[in-house]
C-alpha cells in the first residue's frame, strides 16, 4: 500500500488532524507500507516520490477535503475522509462550506468518525449515502514512572490547578470559564486557572488576553511540546472543557489517560468519551454539566450554576476526583490503544484496495 495523508496547512491550527496522521504514519512505518503526509498548500504532492499512491486519506473534511478530493478525482484514486468534529459541528452551519462538505463527503469512499453520534449527525445534516466507519482514536501511552516537576511549567507548590485545554477561539468558550470561576475564587485562593495561549482566532485571543490582565489567578501559558503534554496534564487537579462544540479532542483523552478528573460540557464529543459519574455512581470516568441548544448555529447555552456547583464539589472532595480519574485512566488504556486504531484503519484501506 502507498497511502498519502492530506492534512491542513498551518503551524498552530489543526492539532487534532496532525496528531492522528502522525500516529498512523508512525504505526504504518513498521509495516510493508509506504506513507507520505502532505499539506493542503503543497500543490504537487505526487511529484515528491516515485510511483503513484494507492489511496488518499484526508483529515478534516473542510480544510483538507476539497484539495484531496480534486487530487483523488484527477488520479482516479479512492478517497477516505476523517472528520474530527469541528468540520461537522461548526463548518456544516456555514452556508459557503456546507455545499463543499457535501461534495467532498459524497465523493469519498469512506468517512471515518471517532464515535457513532458524529456519523449520524453528518448523515442527517447532509443527507449523504457514503459509508461511515467508526474508529475510536488511540492514545499514545506515556511513561507514568517519570514525573516532570511542576516548576518546569511555571507552577508553584500549593497551587490548585484547573486546566482548560484548547485553542483560543469562540467555540472553546474560554471567557465563560473565566467569569464563572471568578465567582468562587475568594473561597479557593489557591486555585489557578491554566489557559493555553494558542491563537486559533486572533480577535478572540485579544478578548481573552484582556480578561486575564487583572486576574492574577489566571495563568496563560504556551503549550509545551507534544511529548511533555501528558506530564503537564498530571499536574492538574481538575481538567475542564467548556466548549460549545467538540469533535475529537486529544487533550481530553490525554487528561483522562493521566488520571485527571474531568468536568466537561454535555455536548457531542464530550459525552462520547465521558460517562457521567453523577448519573452512573461508581461507574463513571468524569462529570458532565448541563448545556442546552443555543438560539442558532452550533452555540450552546451553558448552565453556569451547574458548572460551578460541580466544580465546587470536586474542589471540596479531591479524593473522589482521584478515584474517578484512576478509573478513567484504566478505561483509556484498555479501549483507546494505537494498535486497535491502526488495525481498524488497515481494514478500511484493504477493503478499498481489493
pLDDT by 10s per residue, the chain, length 354? 788 888 876 654 556 667 777 788 777 777 776 677 776 666 555 454 445 778 999 988 888 888 889 888 888 899 999 998 888 888 888 888 888 999 999 999 999 999 999 999 898 888 888 999 999 999 988 888 889 999 999 999 999 999 998 778 888 999 999 999 999 999 999 999 999 887 677 888 899 999 999 999 999 998 887 788 899 999 999 999 999 988 888 889 989 999 999 999 999 889 999 999 999 999 999 999 999 988 777 789 999 999 999 999 999 999 999 999 999 999 999 999 989 999 999 999 999 998
Instruction: With respect to residue 180, please indicate whether it lies within any of the assigned structural domains.
Output: yes
- Taking the C-alpha atoms of residue 325 and residue 259, their distance in angstroms, rounded to an integer, is 4
Residue 144 inside a domain? The answer is no
Question: Radius of gyration of the chain from Cα atoms?
Answer: 21
Enter the DSSP assignment of 34: E
pLDDT of residue 298: 76
Q: Are 192 and 236 in contact (CB under 8 A)?
A: no
- Do 271 and 211 lie in one domain? The reply is yes
Domain shared by 45 and 194, yes or no: no
Within a domain: residue 145?
no
> Structural domain of residue 298, as residue ranges?
150-335
Give the max Cα distance, the chain: 65
Structural domain count of the chain? 2
Q: What is the CATH number of the domain that holds 176?
A: 3.40.50.2000
> Could you tell me if residue 299 is inside a domain?
yes
Please give the Cα distance from 240 to 329 (Å, whole number): 16
Question: What stretch of H or E contains 338?
Answer: helix 338-353
C-alpha 312/C-alpha 305 separation (Å) is 10
pTM above 0.85, yes or no: yes
Assign 187 to helix, strand or coil: coil
Amino acid at each position: 500500500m502507498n497511502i498519502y495523508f492530506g492534512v491542513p496547512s498551518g503551524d498552530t491550527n489543526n492539532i487534532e488532524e496532525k496528531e492522528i496522521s502522525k500516529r498512523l504514519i508512525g504505526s504504518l512505518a513498521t509495516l510493508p507500507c509506504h506513507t507520505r503526509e502532505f499539506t493542503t498548500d503543497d500543490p504537487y504532492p505526487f511529484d515528491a516520490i516515485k510511483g503513484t499512491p494507492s489511496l488518499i486519506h484526508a483529515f478534516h473534511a473542510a480544510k483538507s477535503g476539497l484539495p484531496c478530493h480534486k487530487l483523488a478525482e484527477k488520479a482516479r484514486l479512492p478517497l477516505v475522509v476523517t472528520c474530527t468534529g469541528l468540520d461537522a459541528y461548526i463548518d456544516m452551519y456555514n452556508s459557503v462550506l456546507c455545499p463543499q462538505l457535501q461534495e467532498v463527503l459524497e465523493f469519498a469512499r469512506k468517512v471515518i468518525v471517532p464515535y457513532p453520534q458524529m456519523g449520524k449527525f453528518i448523515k442527517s445534516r447532509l443527507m449523504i449515502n457514503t459509508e461511515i466507519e467508526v474508529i475510536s482514536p488511540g492514545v499514545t501511552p506515556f511513561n507514568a514512572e517519570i514525573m516532570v516537576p511542576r516548576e518546569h511549567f511555571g507552577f508553584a507548590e500549593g497551587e490548585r490547578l484547573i486546566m482548560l485545554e484548547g485553542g483560543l477561539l469562540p467555540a472553546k468558550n474560554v471567557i465563560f470559564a473565566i467569569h464563572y470561576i471568578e465567582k468562587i475564587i475568594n473561597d479557593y485562593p489557591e486555585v489557578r486557572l491554566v489557559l493555553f495561549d494558542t491563537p486559533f482566532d486572533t480577535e478572540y485571543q485579544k478578548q481573552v488576553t484582556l480578561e486575564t490582565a487583572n486576574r492574577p489567578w489566571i495563568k496563560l501559558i504556551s503549550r509545551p511540546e507534544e511529548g511533555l503534554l501528558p506530564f503537564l496534564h498530571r499536574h492538574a487537579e481538575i481538567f475542564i472543557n467548556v466548549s460549545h462544540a467538540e469533535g475529537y479532542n486529544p487533550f481530553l483523552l490525554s487528561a483522562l489517560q493521566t488520571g485527571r478528573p474531568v468536568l466537561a460540557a454535555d455536548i457531542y464529543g464530550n459525552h462520547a468519551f465521558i460517562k457521567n459519574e453523577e448519573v452512573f455512581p461508581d461507574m463513571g470516568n468524569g462529570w458532565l454539566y448541563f448545556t442546552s441548544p443555543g438560539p442558532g448555529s452550533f452555540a450552546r447555552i451553558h448552565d453556569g450554576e451547574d458548572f460551578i456547583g460541580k466544580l465546587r464539589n470536586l474542589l471540596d472532595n479531591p479524593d473522589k476526583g482521584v478515584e474517578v480519574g484512576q478509573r478513567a485512566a484504566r478505561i483509556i488504556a484498555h479501549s483507546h490503544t494505537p494498535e486497535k486504531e491502526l488495525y481498524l484503519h488497515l481494514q478500511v484501506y484493504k477493503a478499498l484496495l481489493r
